[in-house]
Amino acid sequence: MDTIKIDQVQKEIDARANKEVYIHLETTNGAYASHFNQEAYNVGAFIRNANVSYARGKIVGAGATYRVGLKLDIGWIYAEGVNQYEIDDEGRLLMAGHDNEGRLMVALQIGEKPFTY
Amino acid sequence: MQEHVVVIYPHPDDESFGASGTITSFREKGIPVTYLCGTLGEMGRNMGNPTFATRESLPEIRKQELIKACDVLDMELKMLGYRDKTLEFESREEVAKHLYQYLEEIEPTLVITHYPGYAVHPDHDAFGAAAIQAVGMMAKEKRPTVWAQAISRNYIDELGEPDILNDIGDVFATKLDAIMAHKSQADGMLAKIQEETQEDIETAAKTWLGIESFYTWQF
């Protein structure tokens, strides 16, 4: 993955607007968070293959991290903290935020076909 | 009955961190070992350090790492095709029956798995419980011994000292090789161990991972 370049990612988001797309959205601090640190509290959520269409999508932020919002007919998809992106070999837009040890903290991915499940 | 060990864990790397010294000791005695690995660790959050995997490329990367680790450990591998983080939501009965089919075919003398309720990760608890249920489904005279591995902070307080303590110092180099095969996962984990113990990586890992302990399950 590369560091996010906001103009390029915005173009990729625009290119997938008003189409049927599949979303992978995820955030986690890991299944071992409270094992390694008793003060910590495990949280995580993921949705794989939400089948939606967004009329408008926008990436906002500067410097280290970005927020992405996708406006749906009846709701929103939102992710905060993405800092890297990639168009993978299947043309999917993958965005993710990692901590300084390379561990994934948040991911928002948009594909035109379902992600493998 | 011919000895045969079956290891049942849900994630690629559970075997290397948890039981690779014990596995190596069995292999050195010529005892076959088969690993029933539940998932490909698809939802792991370590992506290498610096990152080289994505959520979508991680499963194939971890599959190759798993195959490499099993080569290092000279054990047979069966990948069972469940999805990381979801094992506790599958039907326990169906997962147990799935494992039972393998056990009936292999007829192991020993099964190594996680101690349900004391294994920290929900997949560990769920797969360990299914493994023990599967062994329980076998006829008494065919039933292998089960070594259950606890990991939680409180396990000694609640379960007492484990009865199987394998000092794997003699084969530690192989254990470290097996761990290192899981490059996407090991970079982060070993750095963490090193940071906490302030020692070089081999000494640090040996301090943390030099003894593999298990409880003999009572049916």
What are the residue boundaries of the structural domains of chain A, listed by start? Answer: 2-111
Inter-chain contact B152–A35, Cβ cutoff 8 Å? Answer: yes
Inter-chain contact B55–A96, Cβ cutoff 8 Å? Answer: yes
Count of beta carbons in the 10 Å neighbourhood of residue A78 = 12
| Nearest Cα residue to A94 out of A30, A6, A25, A47 | A25
Inter-chain contact A107–B55, Cβ cutoff 8 Å? Answer: yes
Name the DSSP letter for residue B160. -
Please name each of the domains of chain B with its CATH number: 5-216 (3.40.50.10320)
Question: Prior bond to B50 cis, omega within 30?
Answer: yes
For B192, nearest residue in chain A (alpha carbons)? A101
Do the Cβ atoms of A47 and A25 come closer than 8 Å?
Answer: yes
Do the Cβ atoms of B29 and B132 come closer than 8 Å?
Answer: no
Task: Return the pLDDT at B202.
Answer: 75
Residues B23 and B57: their CA atoms lie apart, in Å, by 29
Task: Give how far Cα A13 sits from Cα of A10, A108, B149, Å.
Answer: 5, 11, 46
Question: Consecutive 10-residue runs of chain A (117 residues): their mean pLDDT?
Answer: 96 98 94 76 94 98 92 97 96 96 95 95
Q: What is the pLDDT of residues B164-187, one digit of tens each?
A: 999 999 999 999 999 999 999 998
Structure tokens, B182: 């899981």
φ and ψ at A92, to 5 degrees? -90, 145
Q: How would CATH label the architecture of A2-111? A: Distorted Sandwich (2.70)
Q: Which of the four pLDDT bands, split at 50, 70 and 90, describes residue B192?
A: confident
Residues B217 and B67: their CA atoms lie apart, in Å, by 29
Task: Return the pLDDT at B30.
Answer: 98
Inter-chain contact B120–A32, Cβ cutoff 8 Å? Answer: yes
Q: Which of the four pLDDT bands, split at 50, 70 and 90, describes residue B12?
A: very high
Contact of B191 with chain A, judged by CB distance below 8 Å, is answered with yes
CA of B150 vs chain A CAs: smallest distance (Å): 13
Task: Give how far Cα B168 sits from Cα of A58, B3, B11, B201, Å.
Answer: 54, 20, 22, 17
Q: Which of A42, A85, A104, A106 to mutate to test the interface with B (most CBs of B within 10 A)?
A: A104
Query: What is the interface pTM, i.e. ipTM, of the complex?
Result: 0.94
Contact of B187 with chain A, judged by CB distance below 8 Å, is answered with yes
| Nearest Cα residue to A91 out of A77, A109, A72, A68 | A109
Is residue B200 predicted with pLDDT exceeding 90?
Answer: no
B107 vs B206, more confident: B107
